[in-house]
Structure 1
């Protein structure tokens, strides 16, 4: 009797077993960087960098590793801005991590290390990473946005905002901002990219 029950269930179990194709589809998303694509513009191919708890096109990534107590050889490089798989946080080692959000002005920001504080009225998503053959894409659709835009700021940098018309941007002119496609190349190193970003 038991043998008949098991035998009758075998076809069902076989159909429920994962296939090589479904295992491929379930592959984990990678950590990734972001680069702006907008042909014939000053932001074309600029990498997105984290500094001053904001995101920029142009400029340098700002990071920190507490040595001591962390041995210098254990500090991640901290030279590139890398997002964690899925794009809701930065790929950092600091306990508690650093989350990504869009503040009420529309600016793309990240939390201070050791603090999960996010200003009231901010959006913590939806962010979306979409894999691709050569590189992925990263976007934000909260607040009715259609991705990201870069707005001219000081020091020849462009501050990154959600692509919304009521953003409060440097200089006050949303018309000076440039929408862009955020391509997301897989990070060369999938380990932590920084201890923390500043």
Structure 2
């Protein structure tokens, strides 16, 4: 009887392991860390092809009740906005002299600027989101009073912005992500 119970338990364990999705990307949200600043603990949102902090409303179309913040996953070094349906929305960086580290996203097979890069996203050992090892800056006075997010690769005030602050982009695991399509 004991042998039968052991075999049954092992069979159940193996069948659930086979049924579990393999290599499913881990979904996460992103929170800004910058002590004593208006962006400390602000969560990243997506709207109008850009990423923002302290955006009051993203106007995303979601498949359920959303937290109001953007959820991401990384697949093949590409940062993708989480959705279970429709075309993927992928985040790119333009580090050229013209782009100055602008971060935006495309939907489906929309074209990207000439020098834009989709690959290079990672989560470092401290659970921080980085692009090719670089962190980020946020600049005030963007849409609806939000802070626009740029790559922080040596430019303190990218795109002619002023008052920008460097920040750490801490990832927060999202175990119950809600798929959304973000505005163009």
Fold agreement, TM-score > 0.5: yes
Correspondence for 2:168: 181
| 1:80/1:121 CA distance change after superposition, 3 Å | same
TM-score, normalised via structure 2 length: 0.71
RMSD after superposition: 2.7
- Stretches of structure 1 that go unaligned for 5 or more consecutive residues are 1-25, 66-74
Aligned length: 153
Q: Which residue of 2 aligns with 1:123?
A: 117
- Identify which of 141, 145, 149 aligns with 1:153: 141
Who is 1:32 aligned against? Answer: 28
Question: Secondary structure of 2:89's match?
Answer: coil
Cα distance, 1:48–1:110 mapped onto 2, change above 3 Å: same
1:101 aligns with 2:87: no
TM-score (norm 1): 0.66
Q: Which of 146, 150, 163 is 2:152 aligned to?
A: 163
- CA shift in 2, pair 1:53/1:40, >3 Å: same
Which SS does the other structure have where 2:69 is aligned?
coil
1:153 deviates by: 2.0
Change (3 A) 1:99 1:184: same
| Structure 2: unaligned runs, 5 residues or longer | 1-21
